[in-house]
Amino acid sequence: MYEEIRKPRMLQDVPLSLIRPLPVLYYANKFVTSQISVKVRNLYQSNLTYLGDALLLIGQLINNIEFRDVASYIQDMDQTISTSHIEKIQSLSLDLARLCTLAKQELRNKSHEIKMTAMNLYSKQVDPLKILVISTDQNMDNVQKVMGILKGFCQYSVDCSQYDSPVLNHKLVDSDFIIFSSTSSPEIHQQVKKIDTYRTPGLAIVPINSKSTDIERAVRHGSQLLKTGLPVLFRMFTPLRIFTTIEKTYLAYHLR
Looking at per-residue pLDDT, the higher value among 138 and 91 belongs to: 91
The winner for highest mean pLDDT among 5-9, 147-151, 208-212, 233-237 is 147-151
Tens of pLDDT, residue by residue over 100-109, are: 999 999 999 9
Last residue of a domain, one of 125, 146, 165: 125
Are 70 and 18 contained in the same domain? yes
Q: Which amino acid is at 179?
A: I
Strands (E), 96-246: 130-135, 157-162, 177-180, 202-205, 232-233
Domain boundary among 103, 125, 147: 125
Which one of 125, 152, 181 terminates a domain?
125
Check residue 182 and give its pLDDT.
Answer: 82
Decide which of 5 and 122 is more confident: 122
Residues 100 and 162 grouped into a single domain: no
pTM over cut 0.75: yes
Q: How many domains does the chain have?
A: 2
pLDDT at 1 over 70: no
Contacts with 196 (C-beta within 8 Å, 6 or more apart), sequence order: none
Verify that 143 and 162 share a domain, yes or no: yes
- Rounded CA-CA distance 145/34 in Å is 38
Residue 210 has pLDDT above 70, yes or no: no
Q: Rounded to whole angstroms, how far apart are CA atoms 146 and 242?
A: 10
| Residue-averaged pLDDT of the chain | 87
What are the tens digits of pLDDT across the range 36-60? 999 999 999 999 999 999 999 999 9
**Which amino acid makes up residue 59?**
G
Distance CA 191, CA 104 (A): 46
**Percent of the chain beyond pLDDT 90?**
51
Range of the domain at 62: 2-125
